[in-house]
């Protein structure tokens, strides 16, 4: 059978189970869970893998899953197809969980449809018979770096090392036996059906606690130290240093107040912020972070309070492997036509960040975008409108790409693997991330 016949078989298999594949994505949409709490989501994916007869392990990095499809032509490289399990919190999203505010406003539920969909394609009769090596089906927790207080606590208890899903999978060695990886993300603003290439920003994550002193807010405010005022001054100082950001560095500084005081008649003594310092390069992020830390200390100094600043290793910029991207592009063009596939400049960073960036420093990895969504990403109107485009099409493209990579003795995958020089080893990665994580207590008294 020719390669194109094999790919057609895989696509037919995906079409024949279209409703089940889309059904899984919709079931995940209806059960949104944020990072490292995706227990129901994980169970839904496991159930589907079980039905497909895919051997897998679960509970990796709390909620992650890893399964394998073994080629029957002997050993060869391992190609990972990745989906993300977690949702955001956007309480006024139409599909938000009313209790937690969790909502799939980034389309990760579509990725899980793609993950099982590509498995369905590769399980079509005859396909695995001609592949060497294997495909790893990986569902990772916690791509959105939110709920920092919760994660930092898990970290302090030793239940989490690094605090995002792919980061922790790397630390746990779950990517040690993977040679290359692909993940397709939905998008509402591509302009074409597929958009390939580009990069993402690096970031550091901030978890900040302003420490004041409670006192009667009316009777004796002079006895108190107002932690909310410290936070307000710090946030204004951060606004003031934005003008030092260079355009080329794509600096983004953004914070939320997650605890702002508990009762209006007592001077707030414990105010917490979670934040993000993003930029095009690790150096730009480190420099901006120094300025942010000065601003945080300034808030504490102004009121005579303290501030505990936890700086947490965030993401590295995405580096798309050109040969892997080319294999993906060829299959995209074959499926949807040349005019529906755009390639972005390699250095174009839209501003967002992903831990696929971390993985891309260790192995060939790609992070293309597929349309099919409408609304603002992370907004209350972000919805997958076209499940065939957002789930079925990328499932087919990833299955087709895996066939290209692992057929003919896995020649293409082997070539990509051998030609690739990783940007760092796992050990270098772990020590880099350790050096980016620290906690400081500044006393402004």
Q: Which of residues 13-42 bind Zn ion (CB under 5 A)?
A: none
Of the two residues 106 and 383, which places its CB atom closer to Zn ion in the complex?
106
CB of 111 to Zn ion, least distance (A): 8
142 binds Zn ion (CB under 5 A): no
CA dist 428 and 201 (Å) reads 20
CB of 373 to Zn ion, least distance (A): 11
Of the two residues 61 and 228, which places its CB atom closer to Zn ion in the complex?
61
106 binds Zn ion (CB under 5 A): yes
**Binding piece for Zn ion, criterion CB under 5 A, among 104-112, 173-181, 236-244, 381-389:** 104-112
Of the two residues 198 and 261, which places its CB atom closer to Zn ion in the complex?
198
CA dist 121 and 7 (Å) reads 8
**Binding piece for Zn ion, criterion CB under 5 A, among 17-25, 99-107, 289-297, 322-330:** 99-107
Check residue 404 and give left, alpha or beta (phi > 0: left; psi -120 to 50: alpha). Answer: alpha
The answer to whether residues 66 and 46 touch, using CB atoms and an 8 Å cutoff, is no
CB of 299 to Zn ion, least distance (A): 29
**Binding piece for Zn ion, criterion CB under 5 A, among 13-21, 32-40, 101-109, 168-176:** 101-109
Cβ atoms within 10 Å of 333's Cβ, excluding its own: 15
Of the two residues 106 and 373, which places its CB atom closer to Zn ion in the complex?
106
To 5 degrees, how large is the angle CA 286–CA 291–CA 294? 125
What's 392's DSSP letter? I
Nearest to Zn ion by Cβ — which residue? 106
CB of 234 to Zn ion, least distance (A): 26
CB of 112 to Zn ion, least distance (A): 12
**Binding piece for Zn ion, criterion CB under 5 A, among 53-61, 103-111, 285-293, 397-405:** 103-111
Place of tokens 């089940």: 20
Of the two residues 26 and 367, which places its CB atom closer to Zn ion in the complex?
367
The answer to whether residues 205 and 275 touch, using CB atoms and an 8 Å cutoff, is yes
**Nearest residue to 199 via CA among 79, 297, 281, 109:** 281
Of the two residues 84 and 249, which places its CB atom closer to Zn ion in the complex?
84
The answer to whether residues 109 and 28 touch, using CB atoms and an 8 Å cutoff, is yes
Of the two residues 27 and 106, which places its CB atom closer to Zn ion in the complex?
106
Residues binding Zn ion: number (CB under 5 A): 1
CA dist 301 and 335 (Å) reads 60
**Binding piece for Zn ion, criterion CB under 5 A, among 56-64, 100-108, 173-181, 296-304:** 100-108
Q: Which residues are within 8 A (CB) of 61 and not within 5 positions of it... i.e. 6 or more apart?
A: 36, 140, 141, 142, 160, 165, 168, 169, 172, 174
**Residues contributing to the site for Zn ion (CB under 5 A):** 106
């Amino acid at each position: 059978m020719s390669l194109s016949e094999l790919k057609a078989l895989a696509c037919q298999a995906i079409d024949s189970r279209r409703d089940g594949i889309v059904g899984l994505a919709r079931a995940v949409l209806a059960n949104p869970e944020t990072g490292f709490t995706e227990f129901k989501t994980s169970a839904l994916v496991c159930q589907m893998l079980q039905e497909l007869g895919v051997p897998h392990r679960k509970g990796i990095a709390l909620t992650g899953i890893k399964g394998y499809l073994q080629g029957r032509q002997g050993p060869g490289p391992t190609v990972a197809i990745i989906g993300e399990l977690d949702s955001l919190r956007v309480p006024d999203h139409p599909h938000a969980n009313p209790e937690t505010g969790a909502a799939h406003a980034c389309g990760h539920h579509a990725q899980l449809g793609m993950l099982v969909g590509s498995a369905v394609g590769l399980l079509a009769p005859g396909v695995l018979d001609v592949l060497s090596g294997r495909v790893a089906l990986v569902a990772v927790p916690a791509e959105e770096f939110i709920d920092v207080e919760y994660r930092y606590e898990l970290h302090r208890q030793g239940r989490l090392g690094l605090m995002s899903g792919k980061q922790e999978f790397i630390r746990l060695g779950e990517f040690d036996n993977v040679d290359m990886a692909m993940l397709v993300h939905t998008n509402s603003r591509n302009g074409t059906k597929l958009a390939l290439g580009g990069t993402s920003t690096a970031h550091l994550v901030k978890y900040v606690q302003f420490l004041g002193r409670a006192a009667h807010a009316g009777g004796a405010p002079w006895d108190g130290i107002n932690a909310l005022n410290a936070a307000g001054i710090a946030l204004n100082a951060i606004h003031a240093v934005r003008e030092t950001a260079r355009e080329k560095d794509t600096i983004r500084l953004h914070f939320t107040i997650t605890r702002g005081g508990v009762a209006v008649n007592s001077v707030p003594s414990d105010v917490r912020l979670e934040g993000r310092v993003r930029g095009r390069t690790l150096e730009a992020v480190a420099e901006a972070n120094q300025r942010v830390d000065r601003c945080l200390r300034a808030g504490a100094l102004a009121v005579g309070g303290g501030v505990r600043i936890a700086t947490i290793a965030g993401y590295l910029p995405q580096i798309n492997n050109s040969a892997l991207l080319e294999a993906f592009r060829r299959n995209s063009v074959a499926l949807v036509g040349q005019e529906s596939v755009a390639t972005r400049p390699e250095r174009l960073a839209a501003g967002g960040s992903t831990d696929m960036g971390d993985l891309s420093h260790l192995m060939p990895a790609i992070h293309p975008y597929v349309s099919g969504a409408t609304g603002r990403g992370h907004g209350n109107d972000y919805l997958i409108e076209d499940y065939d485009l957002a789930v079925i099409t990328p499932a087919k493209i990833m299955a087709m790409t895996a066939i290209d990579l692992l057929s003919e003795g896995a020649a293409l995958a082997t070539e990509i693997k051998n030609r690739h020089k990783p940007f760092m080893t796992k050990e270098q990665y772990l020590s880099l991330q350790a050096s980016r994580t620290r906690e400081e207590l500044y006393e402004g008294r």
